[in-house]
Amino acid sequence: MMSRLSAVTFNTFREAVRDRVLYNLILFVLLLLAITPLFGQISIGLERIILINVGLSAMSLFGIVIAILVGIGLVSREIEKKTLYTILSRPVRRWEFITGKYCGLVMTLTVNAVMMATGFYLALLITGHGWQAADARLLVAIYFIILQFFIMTAITLLFSAFTTPVFSAIFAFSLFVIGSFSEDLRNFAALTQGLTKWLVTATAYLVPNFSSLNVISQAAHDVPVDGRLIAFNTLYAVFYSMAAIAASIVIFERRNLK
Amino acid sequence: MKRLRPIVWQFLLLAICLAGATLALRSVDRVRGRQATLQDVLYIRSGKTLKRASLGYSGLLADIYWTRAVQYFGSGHVRHETRFDLLYPLLDITTDLDPHLIVAYEFGSIFLSQAKPAGAGQPEQAAALVEKGIRENPKYWRLYFTLGYIHYFDRKDYKAAAMAFQKGSEVPGAQPWMRSMAASMAVHAGEPELAAAIWRHIYESTEDEGIRQNAVQHLQALQIDQEIAELQRRVDLYRQKTGQAPYGWQSLIQAGLLRGVPRDPTNKPYILDTQGKVRTKDPVPFVTQARDRKE
């Protein structure tokens, strides 16, 4: 089982890395980091804060765009090229295919995040004229960004399992926007009563919560992140991603591929 | 050579088209006027709405708004504009988006509070901005210093200034001179020595070159104000003694009222005009004595 899973994972990784869109986006992020010192010049007193905000926001946004753009084609492209039939005719189960695809894309995004983080730290080193102890705390924000990728990839894969790439992209991006407002949904639920309260609360827990995974502003002001938040966010990202993958498997297992 | 020709033509065409587009756009800008490139418009005035719309990237948006505020004030300042209607809304939005962006409170309030033409001449809004900063960052004692500075110099409310310094001195980690500053406010409010002490603290507590330069200019202006007052007193003394106006500094030196030609802090000689009035050789910012002379 593990060898089949890893075969799908590494093939997905290889395929994603060959994708030219991926390289363009990384190049764009690196360029963005290069122009950040210039951005600091036209503002006053916050070159470092701007660098952290621009760098981490770009890392997060472009990672999410990559997750959506690559994720939407994970299943549909295999069907379109008829390669899915070749894979499934071998002793590879459908759930192994979905899980392998997920792991492959997460691996790609993690490698990308590491590359972007390297560029980001390099820019910090150049503009900050040396290494500061506060720079290490930024790793928490980068880790949370990777957790965002975990969830976003699982969501994209879920939509990719039953609809066309265009609709997958629309649904996934919409869910990202709704997920960024999930805390507002909970606040709204607190103001309602009865069935409405129950429904809104259920929706608030059903949609992904991206706001708690965004600590970029906190990192920019060197505010330490609570250890418990790191632990619970990790658990949340793992459970939510697993739930979305499980839903993808349920749909894909029942999908008629003829 | 024959194979290169189409490429040369293509590049030439590209260059001509780009140049044409640039020239056309410049003409469009000229027709539309200043509004074409610098619109003094805020499409969304609510920081809270913008924060929600930022999808969690409010820090990045705050940086953009702060840069916009700096550019808005800076470009207006360069053009010698006297109205900065959007400055406070821009700073308010910036600090709504990121309530911990200390520079926006510290620098923004200085832009707002300083009298025209150096600033926007809106000390009330400046004080409101710093008070908001204190509510959001109660442990940051320097904001109390900024508030005290605004009350003292721009609002001339010495009681409020003393209270701001006093409250700031109670914040853990505050510099001990904050307490003595609060005490001095009660006794020496309005005196140049106290103003000089505040500017010296500003100079020593910042690493920003712009703020340091500003503090140096204010310290020089205070020194010039005092020196001009003293020189004017000696000129008047000469008049009383001789019954006539002095003919340049030499008259005062010969009368034993001066040892040599007096020089300002920038090492330029003071000017004694034909009407017996003392002034600096070149205009110096923030000098009130010279301004009085003009008026």
pLDDT digits (tens, 9 = 90+) for A35-47: 766 766 666 667 7
Query: Nearest CA to B80 among B112, B36, B110, B116?
Result: B116
Whether A216 and chain B come into contact, CB under 8 Å, resolves to: yes
Q: If you ran DSSP here, which 8-state letter would residue A88 be given?
A: H
What does pLDDT average to over chain B? 82
Q: Rounded to whole angstroms, how far apart are CA atoms B103 and A40? A: 13
CA dihedral A21, A23, A26, A32 (to 10 degrees): -80
- Establish, for the pair of chains A and B, how many residue pairs have beta carbons separated by less than 8 Å: 63
Contacts of A32 in chain B (CB under 8 A): none
* Tokens standing for residue B34: 């200043």
* Tokens standing for residue A69: 């753009």
Query: Which CATH number does the domain B47-215 belong to among 1.10.10.10, 3.40.50.300, 1.25.40.10, 2.70.70.10?
Result: 1.25.40.10
- Span B31-42, pLDDT tens digits: 766 554 445 556
- Span A193-228, pLDDT tens digits: 888 888 888 888 888 988 888 888 888 888 888 889
Pairwise CB contact (< 8 Å): B57 & A61? yes
What pLDDT is recorded for position B248? 85
Pairwise CB contact (< 8 Å): A57 & B208? no
Query: Which residues 120-179 of B have a C-beta within 8 angstroms of A?
Result: none
- Span B95-124, pLDDT tens digits: 999 999 998 999 899 999 988 877 889 999
What pLDDT is recorded for position A224? 84
Residue B43 — very low, low, confident or very high, per pLDDT cuts 50/70/90?
low
User: Distance from first CA to last CA of chain A, Å, rounded?
Assistant: 25
Q: Rounded to whole angstroms, how far apart are CA atoms B59 and B26? A: 34
Q: Rounded to whole angstroms, how far apart are CA atoms A24 and A237? A: 28
What pLDDT is recorded for position B92? 93
Contact indicator for B81, B117 with CB cutoff of 8 Å: no
* Tokens standing for residue B232: 């004017």
- Span A58-74, pLDDT tens digits: 889 888 988 898 888 88
Contacts of B59 in chain A (CB under 8 A): 49, 53, 57, 216-217, 220
CA dist B194 → B104, B183, B199, B222 (Å): 26, 11, 9, 11
DSSP bridge partners of A104: none
What pLDDT is recorded for position B40? 58
pLDDT average, residue stretch B164-176: 86
* Tokens standing for residue A175: 């869910």
- Report percent pLDDT > 70 for chain B: 87
* Tokens standing for residue B208: 């920003």
Degrees, nearest 5: CA angle B16-B17-B21: 120
Q: Rounded to whole angstroms, how far apart are CA atoms A39 and A32? A: 10
Highest mean pLDDT range out of A41-45, A121-125, B59-63? B59-63
Provide the residue ranges of all domains of chain B, joining segments of one domain with +: 47-215, 229-294
Q: Using CB atoms, which residue from A57, A214, A217 is nearest to B98?
A: A217
Name the residue type at position A159.
F
Pairwise CB contact (< 8 Å): B63 & A49? yes
Question: Cβ atoms within 10 A of the Cβ of A204, count?
Answer: 20
What pLDDT is recorded for position A42? 67
Contacts of A49 in chain B (CB under 8 A): 59, 63, 101, 103
Residue of A nearest to B54 (CA): A180
Residue B11 C-alpha, separation from nearest chain A C-alpha, in angstroms: 25
